[in-house]
Amino acid sequence: MVNSHDEGLPQNRGRRALFAEDGRARMTAEMLATFALLAGVMGFLIWDRFRYDIVAGTALVVGVAIGVVPVKEAFTGFSDDIVILVASALVVSAGIERSGLVDLLLGRISGRLDSVTRQVVVLGSAVAILSAVMKNVGALAIFLPVAIQLARRHGTPPSRLLMPLAFASLLGGICTLIGTSPNIIVSRMREEMLGTPFGMFSFTPLGLALTVLGVAFLSVGWRLLPRGRGGGAGQPFMVDDYTSEMLLPTASPFVNKTVEALEEAGEGDVTICAVIRDGGRRYIPAGHWWLFGGDVLVLRCDATALKRLVMRAKLEVPGATEIPQAASGNEVAVAEAVVTEGSALINATARDLRLRDHFGLNLVALSRRGRPVRQRIRDTRMRRGDLLVFQGHAEDMPTLLGVLGCLPLAERRIDLDRPAHAWRAVAILGVAIALSTSGVIPVAAAFFAAAVAMVATGALKLTDAYDRVEWPILVLIGCLIPIGEALQRTGGSGLIAAALADSVQGLPPLGAVAAILLAAMAVTPFLNNTATVLVLAPIAASLARQVEANPDPFLMAVAVGAACDFLTPVGHQCNTLVMGPGGYRFSDYWHLGLPLSVMVAVLAPPLIVLLWPP
């Protein structure tokens, strides 16, 4: 294995291996191997012929085999803060979504956001503003479930919204000192040079200009994203509407209100087909009919609308109280299944089979390829291909569905539980943001604690928490971090820095600022934004000293370039966070990210020189 900087080499011998006689950095075999490995990884990821986690895992194995990644450091990437942060942020986002407050918020604005352009402008502006006053990954975690729910409600693919939101959060983070890590590191570098750091709002004029222009571009640029991208974990595919029966309890806020009022709460997505009362008599209601406690409502709607109405109207599943919570923690859950050929349910009814008595299952809803169900659900004879929603004990559900001859749809989830304390999830997130923003604890630790609290307090089910984590993305990050660190350990980053320093010699200030910004944008996908600033900020400061210029524009160029990684999902955790929910491929980021990067590269240098004259 090639290892030109082993501990056994004398210090001067190691230096001669990395530097020529004139003091210039030179290429070593280990550097060449590292550059070749990185080029191969990027090529395979862009080719998109193989899964990205397989590519990353293979690259790590190759890196260890050729000696650029030490065996002892091969798996350190999985303990990196970014892995914990991305996984925890997804869990926290799921808790916010399940709280029902997202539906409450969308109920007020959803009708006005009837186009993708409006959705991108409003949500992008909101996440950018929030990113200016807190860590941008935290701001994105708040708006991630909002965007997903809004996309579902309007039939928009989540992929149209999530990448623009991630990019808007990156731009918004530039606006203040605390918005993104590069700003904080550059501020410390300035303090070491001049004795005073950048202030909280020193970045605001430049960041605000880039954010406004960037969101304006994203409002039209979303059309560049590839079509046909589906969401990851937790993103249900579309099916026909269900026919379901729900009990209106006496505690519901819609008791003694009209049918029309309840349908309005469903925002036009729910139809009350019938009301069952008076000992089981079925009535076809008019809109002015009054609803009473104990009514059983026959509803026709999709799964998302049903969940939304259950939370708002506090509806209950008829007979749900007859399925007790198991003492062992075997919680009551809801699952979907398809009636398959040979099923015991074919030509039988729930009443005939006594599903509740014999199997401990409630039949909640039924979908029959778009055809209306005229009878009570419990009296409807089931057919092959019917899509059913059952309620029962979670641990027993797979076995019971197998006995009944039903195929569970593992990729779809319907949660009809009403969160007992909707504000609990928001309070947990608020505490995490406050602790991380104030610097009491690191961001990754704060979000990990928030994720644990979501499950521990019952704001999110444990199974839902595990389901929402995008495990292939964590494998991608964990495998690529040691390879990126190899670039620094072998001296490859120093070689890049030396080449950059040589290239900007003799350039006018505007040209030097532009070169430094472009270098930071190019290196960030491989080193991550923090490492990029640590490598390039000293070079920028040294260059300013050499030409006896104000170091501020050069440091600002490093900060902006490192913060604006729009080309890959691995350079910044915000890009990684939306990769799974948006169903993106590695190469998709270029479609929207390249023109946005060009815009920043063209506009930022003159703005920097204007605001901070050299």
State in Å, rounded, how far the first CA of the chain is from the last one.
Answer: 47
Query: What pLDDT does 235 receive?
Result: 42
Q: Count how many residues are written for the chain.
A: 614
pLDDT digits 0-9 by tens, 133-167: 677 887 887 788 788 878 877 778 889 999 999 99
Strand stretches in 118-270, DSSP E: 242-247
Contact 533, 496 (CB under 8 A): no
Query: What pLDDT does 7 receive?
Result: 36
Query: What pLDDT does 234 receive?
Result: 42
Report the alpha-carbon distance of residue 389 to residue 362 in Å, rounded: 8
Which CATH class, in words, describes the domain spanning 242-316? Answer: alpha beta
Report the alpha-carbon distance of residue 164 to residue 162 in Å, rounded: 6
* Paired tokens of 87: 């996984």
* Paired tokens of 155: 């039939």
* CA distances in angstroms from 323 to 359, 361, 467, listed in the order given: 10, 8, 25
Radius of gyration of the chain (CA): 28
Query: What pLDDT does 16 receive?
Result: 39
Q: Topology of 324-408 in CATH?
A: Alpha-Beta Plaits (3.30.70)
Query: What pLDDT does 495 receive?
Result: 78
Phi, psi (deg, nearest 5) at residue 316: -130, 155
Burial of 47 (0-12, 13-18, 19+ CB in 10 A): exposed
Contact 517, 601 (CB under 8 A): yes
Average pLDDT, the chain: 81
* Paired tokens of 240: 């026909």
Phi, psi (deg, nearest 5) at residue 575: -65, -40
Contact 17, 5 (CB under 8 A): yes
Query: What pLDDT does 379 receive?
Result: 85
* Paired tokens of 595: 């023109």
pLDDT digits 0-9 by tens, 161-210: 999 999 999 999 999 887 777 887 788 778 877 888 888 788 999 999 99
Domain boundaries, the chain: 82-233+422-474, 242-316, 324-408
Contact 204, 560 (CB under 8 A): no
Cα angle, residue 19 at apex, residues 189 and 41 outer, rounded to 5°: 75
* Paired tokens of 109: 């604005």
Amino acid occupying residue 575: N
Taking the whole predicted model, whether its pTM rises above 0.75 is answered as: no
* CA distances in angstroms from 523 to 174, 314, 398, 491, 494, listed in the order given: 18, 52, 49, 14, 12
Contact 549, 609 (CB under 8 A): no
Query: Given this chain, do its domains 242-316 and 324-408 carry the same CATH topology?
Result: yes
pLDDT digits 0-9 by tens, 399-423: 888 889 887 764 445 555 555 556 7
Report residues of the chain scoring pLDDT below 70: 1-26, 46, 97, 100-111, 133, 230-241, 304, 319-331, 369-372, 409-422, 493, 497, 527-528, 530-531, 534-535, 546-547
